[in-house]
Amino acid sequence: MPKLSINGETVDVDVDPSTPLLWVLRDHLDMTGTKYGCGIAQCGACTIHVDGVATRCCVLPVSAATGKKITTIEGLSANGDHPVQRAWVELDTPQCGYCQPGMIMAAAALLSETPQPTDSDIDQRITNICRCGTFARVRQGIHRAAELATEVKA
C-alpha cells in the first residue's frame, strides 16, 4: 500500500502500484487541479513537482512516487499567492484554463531553478500545450513572476 507525501501531508492509498500518480490524485484523492490531457506525457496538463522537479504524472507509476515530496497545484501556495499565480491573475493569463495548472507548475519549477529566465530558457523549459493559445501571456507572466519573487524577497 503506497504511502505518499503530497503537499506536506502523508497519505495512504490503496491502489495497484502501477497506477499513474495522476489517477491517484484525481480519482482516489479528489485532487482534480492536476489535469488529464493526453496520457502520454505530451501535453503537460498533468505537471506536478516531484522533489521540486516538474514531472508529468500521467506516466509516473505511483510506486515511483513513494518516499518523494510531491507538490500539486493545490499545494503550490497556501492562498493562491505564489508569484506565478499572482502574475497569472495580474495578466489574466488563462483562457479556458484547463492547461493552466500544469503550465503554472512548469513555470514555478523553472523559476525555482532559474530565478531570472531568459526567453530562450522559457522556450526550452515550457513545452506544455495550450490550445487557446495563451503563450504570449504565459511568457510575460513568467517574467512578471520573476519580478514579483524578487519583490517578495526584498
> Which CB, 45 or 65, lies closer to another protein?
45
Residue type, position 51, single letter: D
C-alpha cell at 62: 505511483
User: Is residue 72 within 8 Å of 58, Cβ to Cβ?
Assistant: no
> Which CB, 7 or 66, lies closer to another protein?
7
* 111 part of the interface to another protein, by CB under 8 A: no
* 152 part of the interface to another protein, by CB under 8 A: no
* 32 part of the interface to another protein, by CB under 8 A: yes
What is the footprint of another protein within residues 115-134 (CB under 8 A)?
Answer: 122-124, 126-134
Q: How far is the CB of 80 from another protein (least distance, A)?
A: 4
Q: How far is the CB of 134 from another protein (least distance, A)?
A: 7
User: What is the distance between the alpha carbons of residues 133 and 59, in angstroms, rounded to a whole number?
Assistant: 25
| DSSP letter for each residue of 3-64 | EEEETTEEEE--S-TTSBHHHIIIIIS--TTSPPS-SSSSS-TTEEEETTEEEEGGG-BGGG
DSSP bridge partners of 9: 6
Calculate the alpha carbon distances from 58 to 39, 47, 115, 116, 152 in Å: 5, 8, 27, 29, 33
> Which CB, 53 or 136, lies closer to another protein?
136
> Which CB, 55 or 154, lies closer to another protein?
55
Binding residues vs another protein (CB under 8 A):
15-16, 19-20, 23, 26-28, 30-40, 42-43, 45, 72-74, 80, 85, 88-89, 92-101, 104, 122-124, 126-139
